[in-house]
Amino acid sequence: MADTNPTPTAQPAGPLSAFWNAFSQNRGAVGGLFILLTIIVLALFAEWIAPYSAIEQFRGMTKLPPAWAEGGDRHFWLGTDALGRDMLSRLIYGARISLFIGLSVMSVSVVIGITLGLVAAFMGGAVDSMLMRVMDLIMSIPSLVLAILVVSILGPSLTNTIVAVSVVYLPNYVRLVRGSALAEFGKDYIIAAKVAGVGPVRLMFVTVLPNCLAPLIVQAALGVSNAILEAAALGFLGLGAQPPTPEWGAMLADAREFIRSNPWIVTLPGLAILVSVVSINLFGDGLRDALDPKLRRS
């Protein structure tokens, strides 16, 4: 009798290697991941990597250009700022601050966002309506304006920056989770679970949530980069972490007066923000393309 299974000549990949295959196709994403890891390492091991402390002022060595430029000093690779603090060290410590803010905001938003989103989707009716109106409200106030408002109430500091930015980006997560959850509701496995007697909390977190994860992960990754940008904007306006904390946005605020005279004081912190955010965005894009073929852009 005939053999019903043809001998295979090539094997399709298993799930984890399939993910990596898909992810690594996107060279930008891999590049982004690499840069991101470098920045994380810098942030974690700042004490060992940075040549100096971020707040130590070297009198007489103020406003030095980078070491390769005329007038530069080889002790200060990237030059110094107006108060004689080493730029390189400040940037490295600044990475820690920015990443910390980004990850904190993301964590808070994700946790609260998931809870509220699932509650809205499950309870429906008035609760859902009210939650969505509140989210609409938050979204209708321009992000920076709202963040400024929150910081004005709470006072400028690192922690309050995190709170403010979390509030601003919360609606994105809530709507995402709610939308995903509602889309899952029509599907049969939910009905099957309900019939089997799964309680509401378990249904929410164990049954439905894992299926909403793909877009959520992508949004979370991109949310970190948004948070970094927003926090830097607050820092620039003087409403973030206060001096002498080496927050990148605040460094730019100090640098404004030196556009003509010492351009690198302006260029470098912004460049640091740009590189970090780009790497996270590239990584996030790659994540999205690899995780969910439906969202795949090309």
Partner 1 sequence: MIKFILRRLLLTIPTFIALMFVTFIAIRLVPGDPVEVRTGEHGISPERLAYFRHELGLDQPVWKQFLDYVWHLLHGDFGVSLSSNEKVLTEFLTLFPATLELSFAGILFAVILGIPAGVFAAVKRGSWFDHTLMGAAVAGFSMPIFWWGLLLIMLVSEGWGLTPVAGRIDMIKFYFEPTTGFMLIDSLLSDQKGAFLSTLHHLVLPMIVLGTVPLAVIARMTRSSMLEVLSEDYVRTARAKGLSEFRVISLHALRNALIPVVTVVGLQVGGLLAGAVLTETIFSWPGVGKWLIDSIGRRDYPALQGGILLISSLVIVINLLVDLLYGAINPRIRHG
Partner 2 sequence: MALLNIKNLSVSFSTRNGQFKAVDGIDLAVERDDVLAIVGESGSGKSVAMLAVMGLLPWTATVTADRMEFDGLDLLTISDEQRRKIVRRDIAMIFQEPMTSLNPCFTVGFQIGETLKTHFGLDKMAQKKRSIELLEQVGITDPEKRLSAYPHQLSGGMSQRVMIAMALSSEPKLLIADEPTTALDVTIQAQILDLLLRLRNETGMGLVLITHDMGVVAETAERVVVQYAGQQVEMQNTRGLFRDPHHPYTAALLAALPERATGRVLPSIPGVVPGQFDRLKGCMFAPRCAFANERCHSEKPKRASNEEGRALCHTPLIEGRPYIWEGTR
Q: What residue ranges in the chain does DSSP mark as E strands?
A: none
**Residue 192 interacts with partner 1 (CB under 8 A)?**
no
Is the CB of residue 275 less than 8 Å from the CB of residue 35? yes
Choice from 9, 17, 140, 298 touching partner 2 (CB under 8 A): 9
Q: Which two tokens stand for residue 167?
A: 């509030």
24 near partner 2, rule: CB under 8 A = no
The DSSP annotation for 142-183 comes to: -HHHHHHHHHHHH-SSHHHHHHHHHHHHHHHHHHHHHHHHHH
| 25 binding partner 2? (CB under 8 A) | yes
By CB under 8 A, the residues from 224 to 253 that bind partner 1 are 225, 229, 232-233, 236-237, 249, 252
Question: Do 219 and 173 form a contact (C-beta atoms < 8 A)?
Answer: yes
Task: Print the binding letters for residues 247-286 with partner 1: x by CB under 8 A, - otherwise.
Answer: --x--x--xx--xx--x--xx-xx--xx--xx-xxx--x-
Give, as ranges, the residues between 86 and 105 that touch partner 1 (CB under 8 A). none
Find which of partner 1, partner 2, none residue 201 binds, CB within 5 to 8 Å per kind.
none
Tokens, residue 154: 């709470």
Q: 104 is written with which tokens? A: 């904190």
Phi and psi for 62 in degrees, rounded to 5?
-75, 150
Does 4 help bind partner 2 (rule: CB under 8 A)?
yes
Residue type, 211: N
Which of the ranges 2-10, 51-59, 125-133, 187-195 carries the binding residues for partner 2, by CB under 8 A?
Answer: 2-10
Looking at the DSSP bridge assignments, the partners of residue 86 are: 80
Nearest residue (CB) to partner 1, 56 versus 136 = 136
Task: State in angstroms the smallest separation of the CB of 182 from partner 1.
Answer: 18
Nearer to partner 1, 86 or 285 (CB): 285
Give the angle subtended at the CA of 38 by the CAs of 80 and 36, to the nearest 5°: 110
